[in-house]
Amino acid sequence: MGKNILYIEDNPDNMLLVKRVLESRGYHLLEAENGTRGLAMAEAQDVDLVLLDINLPDIDGYEVARRLRKSTKVELAYVPIIAITANALKGDAEKALDAGCDVYMSKPINIRELWARVEGFVVSSH
Amino acid sequence: MPSNFMADEATGSAATSYLTELECSGCGAKFAADQIHTYCPDCQSPLLARYDLKAVQAHVDRATIRQRLHGMWRWHELLPVRDPQNFVYLGEGDTALLPVPHIGAKLGLSNLYVKDESTNPTGSFKARGLAAAVSKAKELGIDKVIIPTAGNAGGAMAAYAARANIRAAIYMPKDTPRANIDESRMAGADVILVDGIISDAAGMAGIKAREEGWFDLSTFKEPYRVEGKKIMGYELAEAFDWSLPDVIVYPTGGGTGLVGMWKAFAEMEALGWLKDTRRPRMVVVQAEGCAPVVKAFESGAQFCDFWTNAHTLASGLRVPKSFADALILADLRESQGTAVAVSDEAILAAGRDLSAHEGIFPAPEGAATLAGLEKLVEQKWVRPDERIVLFNTGSGLKYLDALA
């Protein structure tokens, strides 16, 4: 069974692209279309890594990261979080890292870099 | 377009450009060259232009190119524009390669040169890339272009877009050198000043591009700026009688010139134009306040981490992460080169040295290359007799407010 990667992203095109490339590497993608749903899935399921879009329709990615880190589910204090933004605006990187994310990436996401970053945290089953 | 860029094409079978296709630098996917492309839709890596080099070899030789009117477009077979009417020409290219004997003697180096890009239109090397990109945009029927910039790329895009009668929008940090802001506005561009740095400008330009259909000329997010920049590599080879320097010291923000020159060296080797195919060791110079390539190079990483809180007076080096970071790092390693970070104080001191001892008033980014070389001399990374080229990427006159 592949490692579980939770991708919290409201853009279906991005979701599809990342799903395709990560599943081709043997990862299993859990899909959440907003922050609230992403938090619920992180609490309920085993998650090995979180890909977190910052521009979400309900609560922003910074707040999602903060809530993950403060969760009573101990694993979420340590789960690797890769923040992804569509429009890198002033201070986004700093805010993402301050909120508890481990890595900051801005779109367009180089897929080979995404593989390398994910692989750096959780080895695929391939 | 001056006719004598093309004056020798008498056979009728010669093409203006031998562009064949675009190739993804990440996954190798191929794309048609005469359609509008940005970056690879599959893996989101930069696209690189490929040429029919065998046909170039058959139709043109180095001596012919040398006889043409000076400027970047005399290399048109190896540039992406098919119709000469679409060359947007302001006099770019064929900048001076200056020996710098006084500074060389001070450092104990007997073959030190500066490739002085400050004489390009708009006073910087950015003219080369934007000449190529705007010309190709014109050929592809694009009528409005947008760019995030640390300064000089914006000024260059504004000028070439004005010449091509294409609308221009430019997002630049509010603390961009005044000359860049004024030259862009004078050329009729919409200039939006951003509270932040180039990565913040890129975010805002990206939103406008998507919402309003502007074509984004951001570094490596379209395939043609690098083609203009690569001509610096051809000019160096020609100046050194078709051999290459031992070391090239290059100030690296987005890295277009470094990647472009490395591409040019490979093309020249394939063309059989080099008498000596030994490649230079490439040196990336960045500022201590923003050195993502140096950090990645030293740690053995394939990609750069986004550099937070980037700061340096060399605004062109204030690039927290290049879109082409993987290419820069791969080329750097293939060349057996290195990467060094220098302080703003060292940049200012090097700028004074180049001005006072050699009469070259460099952009801070250009001065950074001398500061970087001084470190390499200390480390004995260069030998005294090696042929070393520093790149002065622009004129210090455009940075008077920063240097005052």
Sequence spans of domains, chain B: 3-86, 96-124+225-403, 126-216
The verdict on a CB contact (< 8 Å) between A97 and B203 is no
**Is the model's pLDDT at B22 over the cut of 50?**
yes
Whether residue A108 is preceded by a cis peptide bond, meaning omega within 30 degrees of 0, is yes
Cβ atoms of B224 and B123 closer than 8 Å: no
Summarised one tens digit per residue, pLDDT across range B316-337 is 999 999 999 999 999 999 999 9
Summarised one tens digit per residue, pLDDT across range A19-47 is 998 999 999 999 999 999 999 999 999 99
DSSP code, position B69? P
Q: What are phi and psi of B286, to 5 degrees?
A: -130, 170
Selected residue of A11, A24, A87 to mutate for chain B interface (largest B Cβ count, 10 A): A87
pLDDT of residue B199: 82
pLDDT of residue B198: 84
Q: Where are the beta strands (DSSP E) in B140-232?
A: 144-148, 167-173, 190-194, 215-216
Interchain contact A79–B (C-beta under 8 A):
no
Residue B344: CA atoms inside 13 Å, Cβ hemisphere, count?
13
**Is the model's pLDDT at B176 over the cut of 80?**
yes
- The pair of structure tokens assigned to A23 is 């599943």
Interchain contact A104–B (C-beta under 8 A):
yes
Q: How confident is the model at residue B8 (pLDDT cuts 50, 70, 90)?
A: low
The mean per-residue pLDDT over the stretch B185-213 comes to 92
Residue B17: partners with Cβ closer than 8 Å, 6 or more residues away: B51, B76, B77, B78, B79, B80, B81, B82
The CATH fold assigned to B126-216 is Rossmann fold (3.40.50)
The minimal CB distance from B26 to the residues A91, A103, A110 is found for A110
Amino acid present at B347? I
**Is the model's pLDDT at A65 over the cut of 60?**
yes
Rounded to a whole number of angstroms, the CA Rg of chain B reads 20
Interchain contact B174–A (C-beta under 8 A):
no
- Number of domains present in the structure of chain A: 1
Residue A123: CA atoms inside 13 Å, Cβ hemisphere, count?
2
Residue B54: partners with Cβ closer than 8 Å, 6 or more residues away: none
Interchain contact A86–B (C-beta under 8 A):
yes
- The pair of structure tokens assigned to B1 is 């377009």
**Is the model's pLDDT at B10 over the cut of 60?**
no
The reply to whether B126-216 shares the fold of B96-124+225-403 is yes
d(CA A57, CA A35): 8
Task: Give the β-pairing of B215-216 and B144-148.
Answer: parallel
**Is the model's pLDDT at B11 over the cut of 50?**
no
Q: Which residues of B174-189 are buried (b: 16+ CB within 10 A; e: fewer)?
A: ebbbebbbebbeebeb
Query: Which one of 3.40.50.800, 3.40.50.1100, 1.20.1050.10, 2.40.10.220 gives the CATH number of domain B96-124+225-403?
Result: 3.40.50.1100
User: A21 lies in a domain?
Assistant: yes
Distance from the Cα of residue B264 to its chain's centroid:
12
The minimal CB distance from A87 to the residues B45, B206, B305 is found for B206
Summarised one tens digit per residue, pLDDT across range B114-130 is 999 999 999 999 999 99
**How far are the Cα atoms of B256, B288, B319 from residue B347, in angstroms, in the given order?**
21, 10, 17
User: A114 lies in a domain?
Assistant: yes
CATH number of the domain where residue A114 is located:
3.40.50.2300
Interchain contact B128–A (C-beta under 8 A):
no
User: A77 lies in a domain?
Assistant: yes
- The pair of structure tokens assigned to B56 is 């170039």
Interchain contact B308–A (C-beta under 8 A):
yes
Mean confidence (pLDDT) of chain B: 95
Q: Where are the beta strands (DSSP E) in B257-385?
A: 281-287, 338-342
Interhelix angle B126-139/B225-239, rounded to 10 degrees, is 130
pLDDT of residue A61: 95
- The domain in which residue A18 lies consists of 4-121
The verdict on a CB contact (< 8 Å) between B303 and A110 is yes
**Is the model's pLDDT at A57 over the cut of 80?**
yes
**Is the model's pLDDT at B131 over the cut of 80?**
yes
pTM: predicted TM-score of the whole model, two decimal places? 0.94
**Is the model's pLDDT at B12 over the cut of 60?**
no
